[in-house]
Structure formats: structure tokens, C-alpha cells
Structure 1
Amino acid sequence: MVFYAGLDWGESHHDMAVIDRRGDLVSHVRVADDVNGLSELLGVLRAVKRNRRAIPIGIETGQGLMVAGLRKAGQPVVVLNPTQVANYRSRTAVQRKKSDRGDARLLAHVLRVDGDAHRPAPTLSEQAVAVRDLTRAHRLTQRAGLLLAGRLRSVLRDYYPAAVTAWAHLPGGITRPEARFVLSAASTPARAARLTTGRLETLLTAAGRTRLITAEAARLHALFHTRALRQPPTIEEAMGQHATALLAQLDAMLKSAQSLWTHVDILAERHPHTPIYRSFPGLGPVLAARLLGELGDDPARFPSARNLRAFCAATPITWASGTSHKVSYRRKSNPILAETGHLWAFSALTCSPGARGLYDRRRAAGDRHPAALRRVYAHFLGGLHFCLRTGTSYDEGRAFPTTEPQSTATVDA
């Protein structure tokens, strides 16, 4: 007998339904989100079939303690996209309805009807999962820091334009340590005007600056003493307090990002796949760790380079109906992989002659900048798939041979 199970996930409890190959309900149970609930769930599966590992479980999330417990127990888990599951609701009824019990049975029916179209969740090592979670946290923290920096810049522009222009020509702008140290001591134009060059030199030294300290202090001193429009004193002081609060949040966010990256770097450097990722041009420590975390280390996850490219949104989508034919990029994809691929391909243009040549040929063929970068990204992914399969490092000569045929197809950017 063949059975299928569906697990409707909840914060406090989970509903599981088991059906047979005809779609008849065999068992239903509601369990708590704890150790006893996991034991009860596995017991129900064992009662349905002695070899419970032969019953796949469909679920709409791959995260959570219950999923981790099921995978640790060796139970096959198939992660289903919630959007795809929602489209199944109208297969048997015109009026859609929703309940925890019904959703669990619906998930089981998805596996029964289209189980061959959904693969079980990949078997990832603990190290790869840890790298994935930490890189995602690091990316979110970085983005939150950029958002705070934008808010701080907007506030400063309303009452303190000198603070905005003081470091605008330098990488990082007001997120630089020296900028944050000076702004913490001079949150208003009035306080900045009272800073002497000696005090500025002390602040720059405390921020970690080691070169041209005297010249930089003189430049800031002259800038802060330049005549400019000012808010009334009371309003200026209030806006200074606002900027100080944002600056404290920005400091905490940047320190958190640095702390997370320290842990990411330690974990990623210990993984055996890291040297292969780092051998590719344009892949620095951050991008390599993100790719490793999102792709994982399951050798059976991507049977071919085509599967890997599709998962990374590096291959186009073709829409053809009658005389209509359109080729466009994949809009629904993992945003982290799409962003990482764009940055990887763009960085490789300056350090890989083969990547630069491919990019120039695609541009000459009519591709726009994003589409040409996706071509480079897709080419690198093919090489990455080969290197991971064979355990070898990147070779520019093999990746971009001089006799490489030139394709004339274009992709709509």
C-alpha cells in the first residue's frame, strides 16, 4: 500500500492527514508543537505503515522545530510552495474553503496527484544550514543598517547639511567609524562649531584613522565653521536628539552585522566546499558564503547544471502561444540568489577576461546590462556545478575556451 501525508503547520499545534493512493482519508491527528507531539505524529505514521519512512509528508515550510525533528527521524519531507498549494484548492470545488484539517488533507493530495513534480527537501549538513541562517541574518542586518543610515542622512539634511557633505565623497559616507565618532560629539551645528582641531584629531584617532589626521581635522574644522542656513536653536537641539538616537541605533546595527559576519566567516572557512567557491573570479568571502548557504551541500540536489541555473533564476522563461513568442527572465525566484548572481557577475567583469568577453558579446548581440550579467552568471553556474561534482577548482581556460561558439539568441532584460 502507498500512503501520503500532509502536515498543516501552526505555532502551537499541527494537523496531519494520511491518505491512501485512492485519496481516501486513513488517519488524522492534531499534535502539539513539542517533543510529545513529534512522538505521537511518528507513532501514527508507524501505525499506518510499519516502514513509516516510506510515507512522504508535504508541508508548506522547511523551517521550525517540528520539521527539524521529522528530518532527524529520517522522515521524508517535501516542502511545497504556498502559492502552488493555494492553486490546488479549486481543483475539486468551485467555492474555496480553508481549515487546518482540510489543509493537511490538501497537502497530502498534492503529493498523491503530482508527487513526481515535487522533490523531497535536500539533505543538508548542519554546517551548511548554519551558514545559510547566519548569512541571511547578516544580509538582513546590513540592509537594516543601510535603511537607518538613509533615515539619519534625511534628518541631518534638514538641519545639519555640513554633516551630510563632510564624508559624502568617501566610501561608506556617514556609516564610516570616523563620521559616527564625530557626529556623536557634534550632533548639532552649534556643537560642531565649538570643536577645535585638536579635539577633532582626538576623535579621528579614536575612530581608528591612522593617516592624514591633521589634514582631515583641518578640513572638518573649516567645513563646520562655514556659514550656512540654520534652524532655530530649540528646533535644532530637538533634531540633534533625533539624530543622536538614530546614530545609536546605527552603531548597534553595524556592530551586530560585524559580529554576525565574524561567525559566518569562521563557519564558511571550515566547510570543504569553500575553497571551490572562492576559486571563482568575483566571489569574495561574503558572496561565496551566501551561495554556499543558499545552494547547500547536498550532492543530489541539482542533477545537472540546467537544474542549478533554473534554481538560481539564471535561465530565461519562454512564453509562446500561437504567433506570440516572448523570452523574459525569471521574476519569481530566491531574491538572495538573484542579488548574489548580479553582484558576482558584475565583480567578475574586472578580473575574468572570459567573463568580460562574454558580457561584451551579449551586449553587442542586443542584450541589456542585466540580461548580459545573467548570461555571465549562468555560465559561471555551469562551471560551479562541474567543480562541485568533481571537487576541482575553477580554471579560466576551461571555463572560457578560445573556441567558444557565439550564440545569437537574446534575452529580454
Structure 2
Amino acid sequence: MLFIGDDWAQAHHDIELVDESGSRLARRRLPEGVEGLAALHALVADHLDEDAEADQVVLGIETDRGPWVQALIAAGYTVHAVNPLQAARYRERHATSGAKSDPGDAHVLAELVRLDRAHHRTVAGDSAIAEHVKVLTRTHQSMIWSRQRQTNALRSMLREFYPGALAAFADDLDGRDALAILAIAPSPEAGRRLSLSTITAALRRAGRQRNLQATAERIQAALRAPQLEAHPGVVSAYTAAVRSLVAVIGEFVVQIEVLRAEVEAGFGRHPDAEIYLSQPELGLVLGARVLAEFGDDPTRYADVRGRKNYSGMAPITRASGTKRIVLARFARNRRLADALYLQAFTALTASPGARTYDDRHRAAGATHHQALREPDPVSRTPDLRRGSPRRGVLDACSQAAGVPPQSGGAGPSAGEVDRRDRPRSGDCGVVPAAVARAGRHRHWPRRGTEHR
């Protein structure tokens, strides 16, 4: 076998090849792109036995994305995506002085996959449609976070010189009403001059159809109310800044909706979309996020515990001597944890099973956030692939409701589900009879939760 450490950077890759005994065979700095990849293949050909298969080349790299990694996988190499934090800890085994270099990191990665590869996962083999959904959902969520950062900046700025706008729009500064009014009145003086007809026309252009008169009167009263004034010398600067921020936030709002449509369309084409939508409070956007972050490679997780650890739902225990403490897991997939947290929160009002499960944990002394992080092993972090025990649970719930199992896929029937995976008391409350008949959950997340 041949072991390769690849310390990647934006423009180059530091490569080290070692054999099974740990002897260094080659060390190179290769450029990013086709030329560098061809040079890497040439190095492998020079040192790999002629009768060896491509999967005998084991490579460690601190990323699982990008065309370089995809090309390595396509070549048949066994690629391990190593967490940078794990690589940093492994480096301390070789040098306690704190010394670090790119060639040294390549050596660390080569030794890691040579000695400890059994403790590290290979790059998941998700399908093309799952990768498609991941790109869209991550971009969509990143744009939402960026919009929120700009909105927070706008709120901070208005607090400095335009408190009337904060009183008029409260916590909805990125809403259509606020953006429409601030676009035509970015300063306190301009806000006081707005007539009722001007405000009404702006709200109508922004898309408001109901309560136009009452909303316009409320906004006008807030903008004309007495307020403390900022220094006259900085008002014009604040006005220009507000005008720019409003334009940026408005464009974010437009593009977020464009991406939302793309996310829903891509998610709808995935063969497992129906199964995800059958989960309580997973709508099109949240369901797409969960699918994208969990992936659809059936061999990616050994068991349910692996899913719980990856999502951050399982706590960690620190014990030493007589001291023992249980903490939340912060080393996790942040995007997945966010989606599952929102799912759990919105499910409390729509799913009797989720409500009962949460109440049981709260009665045992758990806080609100602790109860939401604690997943039901059947309904929150199941193996959602067709042919999985969870699919059998859904079919069992359907049969309990007196309807046929869900069609599609070769999943086990209710009679073929292992007894440990059969729906317990309350599980079919998580997937109620109306849901089983429809093949998906009828209750979508509350307004705004999918846009977090």
C-alpha cells in the first residue's frame, strides 16, 4: 500500500508519500489544478506496485470538497477527510515544541492515514443530487445569515440617530414595509415629512394588501413622534449609510427567495424527499438542509449514535477521578444542528408525540434547550434511506392507522421491522394517521423558522 499526506493551500499542495513501514518515498510541492494532479498521479505510478489496485493508495487531506478531492476519488484512491483539529492534535505526537510547516503537516497526514486510518472516515459517497442540494442549501442559509448581519448593522445605526424608525418597525427591519419606507425616508427629517398617502403608496408597491390604512397611520405616528436628535454634522453620513444598507438588505431578500425556489426544486427531485417530509415539522427548506448535511450515502454512519454525534444532539461526558460533568457537544455540524433544533422546536406545537417526549424530559429536570437537543432515537435521527428500519416504522404507523404502507422503495414492511425499531407508544403520534395517508407531514414550520 501507498500512503499520501496532502497539505492543501489555495495555490499548491504539499505532498508526502510513505510506504507501509513509514519510510518516506517522495516529497513534493505541486501546483493546484490539472498540472499538479498529473504530477501526483505520476508519483503514485512510480512508487506503486504494477499489480496493485488504485484503492491501495490511501490519502489524507483536511477537506472533503473541491475538484481536487473529487478527482482523487474518481481516480479510485481511498481518500480520508481529516478534521483540521484532529490533525493539529496528531501533530503534537510528533513535535511538542509547537513547530509547524506545510511539509511537516503533509508528513503528519501521511502518518495519520498509515497508522490510524481505521479511526477516520473516508469521504462520503453522496449522490450528485444530494451534493446539488447541499450547495444550494448552504448558500441559501449563508445568505440568510448575511442578511441578518446587515440587518443588525442597520438596527444599530438607527438606534444612533433614527429611533423613530425602530419604534415603527420593531424587529422587522428586513421586512417589506420597513425596507419600502426607509428607502424613501432614510433620515428622521424625511420620515417626519411623509404624508399618509405617500406611506400607503409605498406599502402597496412593496406588496402589502391588508390593513393598509391602519399600518400607514401607525408608521406615520411613530416617525412623527418626538425623539432625541443626533448631531447635525453626522446626520447626512448616517442617512447615506442607511440608504446603502437598505439597498443591500433588499437585494438579499430578493436573492434569498430565488435560492429558496431552487432549494425546493432540487430537494423535490431527490428520491428520499418523501421520507424526510414525513418527519414532524420538516418542510421543504428544513428538510433539504437535513438531507444535505446528513447526506445520502447509506454507509456513512455505522448506527444512529453516529448521526446523533455528527449533528451535535448527543452530549459529551468529561470524567476524571471523582469529577464528572455532561456538556453540550459543540464539535458538530453547525448547519445540521441548527436545522434539527428548529425542527424540534416547531414540532412541539404540531406533534403530540414530540410534545409528550419534551414534557417527559422537562419533568426530569432538563432545560428547554437540553430537551430540544435530546432526540427521540426513532423520530429525530433515524436512518432515512429506503430499506432502513425507519422506513419500516413509517409503514408500521401507516398500518396502525388502517392505511397501506408508503409506496416506493424496497423498505421492510411493518412485519419485517426489528422489534426494537417498532413504533412505541407515542411514535405514531409523531407521524399521525393523516400524515401516513398523505405520505408527508401536513404541518409546515412556523413562518420565519425556515428562514433563520
Paired position in structure 2 for 1:407: none
Query: Helix, strand or coil: the match of 1:367?
Result: coil
Task: Confirm whether residue 165 of structure 1 aligns to residue 167 of structure 2.
Answer: yes
Paired position in structure 1 for 2:151: 149
Paired position in structure 1 for 2:241: 242
Could you tell me whether the CA contact under 8 Å between 1:273 and 1:388 is conserved in 2? no
* CA deviation map 1:271-296 (0-9, x unaligned): 11211111111212222111111111
CA distance in 2, matches of 1:161, 1:403: 49
Q: CA deviation at 1:77?
A: 0.8
Query: Helix, strand or coil: the match of 2:375?
Result: helix
* CA deviation map 1:165-192 (0-9, x unaligned): 1122xxx612111211111111122222
Q: CA deviation at 1:26?
A: 2.0
Task: Confirm whether residue 264 of structure 1 aligns to residue 263 of structure 2.
Answer: yes
CA distance in 1, matches of 2:251, 2:302: 43
Amino acid corresponding to residue 261 of structure 1 in structure 2 = R
Structure 1: which 5+ runs fail to align? 405-413
Percent of paired sites with the same residue? 34
Paired position in structure 1 for 2:129: 127
Amino acid corresponding to residue 58 of structure 1 in structure 2 = G
Q: CA deviation at 1:399?
A: 7.5
Q: CA deviation at 1:386?
A: 7.0
Could you tell me whether the CA contact under 8 Å between 1:3 and 1:21 is conserved in 2? yes
Query: Helix, strand or coil: the match of 1:173?
Result: coil
Could you tell me whether the CA contact under 8 Å between 1:16 and 1:29 is conserved in 2? yes
CA distance in 2, matches of 1:399, 1:357: 18
Amino acid corresponding to residue 237 of structure 2 in structure 1 = A
Paired position in structure 2 for 1:23: 22
Taking a change above 3 Å as real, the CA distance of residues 205 and 315 of structure 1, as seen in their structure-2 partners, is same
CA distance in 1, matches of 2:8, 2:71: 13
TM-score, normalised via structure 2 length:
0.82
Taking a change above 3 Å as real, the CA distance of residues 384 and 166 of structure 1, as seen in their structure-2 partners, is farther
Amino acid corresponding to residue 95 of structure 1 in structure 2 = S
Q: CA deviation at 1:43?
A: 2.4
Query: Helix, strand or coil: the match of 1:366?
Result: coil
Cα RMSD (Å): 2.3
* CA deviation map 1:244-280 (0-9, x unaligned): 1211121122223222222222211111121111111
Q: CA deviation at 1:233?
A: 4.7
Paired position in structure 2 for 1:137: 139
Task: Confirm whether residue 401 of structure 1 aligns to residue 403 of structure 2.
Answer: no
Could you tell me whether the CA contact under 8 Å between 2:383 and 2:390 is conserved in 1? no
Q: CA deviation at 1:105?
A: 2.0
Alignment of 1:8-407 (within 5 A): 8-49=7-48, 50=50, 51-168=53-170, 173-231=172-230, 233-376=232-375, 378-385=377-384, 389=388, 392=391, 394=394, 395=397, 401-402=424-425
Query: Helix, strand or coil: the match of 1:16?
Result: strand
Which has the larger displacement, 373-382 or 14-23? 373-382
Taking a change above 3 Å as real, the CA distance of residues 387 and 380 of structure 1, as seen in their structure-2 partners, is farther
* CA deviation map 1:354-385 (0-9, x unaligned): 11111111111111112111223655334454
CA distance in 1, matches of 2:343, 2:192: 44
Taking a change above 3 Å as real, the CA distance of residues 290 and 338 of structure 1, as seen in their structure-2 partners, is same
Query: Helix, strand or coil: the match of 1:350?
Result: coil
Taking a change above 3 Å as real, the CA distance of residues 386 and 297 of structure 1, as seen in their structure-2 partners, is closer
Amino acid corresponding to residue 89 of structure 1 in structure 2 = R
CA distance in 2, matches of 1:353, 1:262: 31
Q: CA deviation at 1:57?
A: 0.4
Could you tell me whether the CA contact under 8 Å between 1:89 and 1:97 is conserved in 2? no
CA distance in 2, matches of 1:364, 1:280: 25
Structure 2: which 5+ runs fail to align? 401-420, 428-452
* CA deviation map 1:139-188 (0-9, x unaligned): 121111111111111221222222111122xxx61211121111111112
CA distance in 1, matches of 2:286, 2:96: 46
CA distance in 1, matches of 2:317, 2:136: 35
TM-score, normalised via structure 1 length:
0.89
CA distance in 1, matches of 2:108, 2:266: 39
Total equivalences in the alignment: 400
Taking a change above 3 Å as real, the CA distance of residues 326 and 400 of structure 1, as seen in their structure-2 partners, is farther
Amino acid corresponding to residue 64 of structure 2 in structure 1 = G
Query: Helix, strand or coil: the match of 1:104?
Result: helix
Paired position in structure 2 for 1:409: none
Q: CA deviation at 1:339?
A: 1.7
* CA deviation map 1:112-160 (0-9, x unaligned): 1111111211101222122212212221211111111111112212222
Could you tell me whether the CA contact under 8 Å between 1:15 and 1:29 is conserved in 2? yes
